[in-house]
Amino acid sequence: MNFADLKNVFSSILIDQINHVKHHDIVYCDTDSTVEEALNIITENNILCVPVQLKNKKDIVGMVDVNDIVSYILSLVNNAVVKNSNSPNSSPTPAQANPSYYEKLKAASTKFSLQTVSKAIDASNRDHHCTVFGGAPLIQLLEIFGRGLHRVSVYDEDETKITKLVSQSDVIRYIIENQNTKEIMKPLLSKTLDEVAMNDPELNFGRESPLTVLESDIAIEAYTRANNSRISAVGVLDHNGDLIGNFSASDIKGLNSKSLTDLSLPIKDFFEKHKSNNIITVTVNSTLLEVIEKCNTNMIHRVWVVEKENLLKPLGVITLTDIMNIFSFYSR
């Protein structure tokens, strides 16, 4: 493959050509909004982040995404002051719930419903608010996304207002829907994951044991492990070690101050109450095109790499950040 061609393609495509949420469609929340209200906005609009603006002004002070909200909830739980559970006014703990976490989450729920969203801005210390110029080349965006940022705000030529938000998923969608770009990238997209990984040690995805939890583990503990590892999701295994699910920060959507205590449930019970437990997998023989098409079709941010002989045994995970790194690497 002529990598100079790929570099030229990514240098000629402008960020403004990557379509996503235009300015008039962007959903905001004010600095006066509570963390719970911000999560409600994210849930109701089926998005993963929301820009936070000063009340009655257009100035953006930051972004809050699902990772920030998970980190914020974990901080509340870690600092929760639990009342005596033997008090006659205390409510009984649900049978499946972990009593200690249930009480801590119940205590945290009040602050969750009252504290302003500014408390949660960049709580995960991972997805800092980043702005780019719409006339900049896509190759610049690939480098930013390859470092782990999931989305950026795009400003107009005068840098006076946000014209849209662009995410890693939008880049994938653009490549799939733009036939000319996909054709030029065909030599790369037709490579298997094994072939890509062999070309550079940094692209060693799918070859390291992924972080996993058991379906019997408590949901809030799984979030703690993911948060400590600075990742957004963990694989969920059954008692046989088979991969049965994906538990990610986006699963926080739909919770509120009344249901926050559901995070004290085992993951299996949490899934039954809050999500359909589907898992998207590939093998090391899958091509890059297959991977990005699965991500685009299923609107997901990762696929799990499983053994060819046993499609339930996880070998690794491929994220959109990995894909951005691949595109950036091959266009240097």
Average pLDDT, the chain: 89
For 195, the token pair is 């072939």
Q: DSSP assignment of 215-226, as one string?
A: TTSBHHHHHHHH
Q: DSSP assignment of 185-235, as one string?
A: THHHHTSBHHHHHHH-GGG-TTSSPPPEEETTSBHHHHHHHHHHTT-SEEE
Q: Are 268 and 255 in contact (CB under 8 A)?
A: no
Res 208: pLDDT:
65
Share of the chain above pLDDT 90, in %: 69
The separation between the first and the last C-alpha atoms of the chain, rounded to the nearest angstrom, is 13
* 254: region left, alpha or beta (phi > 0 left; psi from -120 to 50 alpha): left
127 is in which domain, residue-wise? 3-330
The better pLDDT of the pair 269, 205 is held by 269
pLDDT in tens, 23-63: 447 899 999 999 999 999 999 999 999 999 987 777 788 99
Q: Is the pLDDT of residue 18 over 70?
A: yes
Strand order in the sheet with 233-237: 212-214, 233-237, 243-248
Res 91: pLDDT:
61
Res 3: pLDDT:
64
Give me the number of domains the chain comprises.
1
Q: Is the pLDDT of residue 164 over 90?
A: no
pLDDT in tens, 113-160: 999 999 999 999 998 889 999 999 999 999 999 999 999 999 877 666
CATH number, domain of 318, equals 3.10.580.10
Q: Is the pLDDT of residue 169 over 80?
A: yes
pLDDT in tens, 96-108: 889 999 999 999 9
Please give the Cα distance from 149 to 92 (Å, whole number): 42
Greatest Cα-to-Cα distance within the chain, rounded to the nearest angstrom = 74
